[in-house]
Structure 1
Amino acid sequence: KCLQTALAPDVVHRDLKCDNVLLDKEMNVKLSDFGFSKRCFRDGSGKIIPSQTFCGSAAYAAPEVIQGIPYHPKIYDMWSLGVILYVMVSGYMPYDDSNVKRMLRLQKEHRVLFPDSLSMECKDLIFRMLQPDVSHRLRIEDVLNHPWVQGKRLKSRIF
């Protein structure tokens, strides 16, 4: 529910990171720090106008943002959520941001190393959220319907 609210139509956070994910005493997830959030603007045909402003932290930034390419802000937020999920299930970052050039190369090559302990479904979800090709990166509806989120098994083995 937190994701659906935060990623409501035409609203983007643009600084999703572990530091901005909070838990209340009932273990409900809350998002904080909406300083970079904004409403998306649409053109005459209804398509979201790409953003050009770099927001957030490099370690959570999608390749297109690091490269300074105009980006779809909702798809950018999905990348950041993939990084957060990776950290939550593994305990460490998927990419070392101490060398941004190297990090960008690994991101663009779609190289994600997973702990052996993760289920195939979990790996698949994160791998698809961290897709460098924005046309293939999962959307919120895809994440919410993914077998790992739904507690189901994948039909075919990919890892």
Structure 2
Amino acid sequence: HGRIGEERARRYFGQLASALNYLHNKNIAHRDLKCENVLLKDENTVKLTDFGFSRFCRNGKRVLSSTYCGSAAYASPEVLQGIPYNPKMYDVWSLGCILFIMVTGTMPFDDTNIKTQIRLQMHRDVRFPSNYSISSSCKSLIRHMLEPDIVKRATLKQVLRHPWLEEGVAVAS
């Protein structure tokens, strides 16, 4: 456990974002993205698992979920507050949490108190450990994914086109 280097994080994250893009293009939201559901196949390949909370989202309609699922540590503010949410944008938030954990080795928000967690999320209080060198491009991507305002939060398409991902190997979209 612990953090991994940015190059490896970019490789793994690109694969996860591509897998999620595949699901979203098939109108499926995962809704339980967390490190425990990302398996290492080998040194260079990750696999996304556990589709128990996944949901089919009909295309062409704004689909909102009201079911709380997933893990609090990876949950977006709208999910924690019990507000009907866009499950694909919830996936983007959770993916941002995973990237934060990859490059820092810590959780982005303390989930021991949900009210405190929501307050930190809503105040955009994402703190990167000062003892690690994390590129500004990576931080920018994480902040865009952990944006509490769903209208301003990165879409998965924006994530896949983010300069940080493009600094490494090309990602299929």
TM-score, with structure 2 as normaliser: 0.82
Question: Paired residue for 1:63?
Answer: 77
The aligned counterpart of 1:41 is: 58
Distance in 1 between residues matched to 2:56 and 2:141, nearest whole Å? 27
Aligned mate of 1:123, from 139, 144, 157: 139
Between Structure 1 and Structure 2, the one with more helix by share is 2
Q: Is the 8 A contact 1:14 1:37 kept in 2?
A: yes
- 27 and 6 in structure 1: CA distance in 2 versus 1, 3 angstrom threshold: farther
- Provide, for residues 25-69 of structure 1, a one-character-per-residue CA deviation record: whole Å limited to 9, x for no partner: 252111111000010135xxx222211100100000000000000
Gap regions ≥5 residues in structure 2: 1-17, 169-173
Counterpart of 1:21 in structure 2 is 38
Higher relative contact order (Cα pairs below 8 Å, separated by 6+ residues): 2
Q: Give CA-to-partner distance per residue, 1:53-99, whole Å, 9 cap, x none.
A: 00100000000000000000000000000000000000000001011
The two structures, once aligned, show a CA RMSD in angstroms of 1.4
TM-superposed deviation, 1:104: 0.6
Where does residue 151 of structure 1 map in the other structure? 167
Q: Does residue 138 of the first structure (1) align with residue 160 of the second (2)?
A: no
SS at match of 2:124: coil
Query: Does 1:80 find its partner at 2:97?
Result: no
Unaligned runs of 5+ in 1: 153-159
Which range moves more in the overlay, 19-28 or 67-76? 19-28
Distance 2:87 2:65 in 1: 6
| Aligned residue runs from structure 1 range 81-100, under 5 A | 81-100=95-114
Single out whichever of 33-42 and 59-68 deviates more from structure 2. Answer: 33-42
Alignment identity in percent? 54
CA distance in 2, matches of 1:61, 1:39: 19
- Give the Cα–Cα distance (whole angstroms) in 1 for the partners of residues 161 and 70 of structure 2: 27
1:157 alignment partner in structure 2 = none
User: Match of 1:6?
Assistant: 23
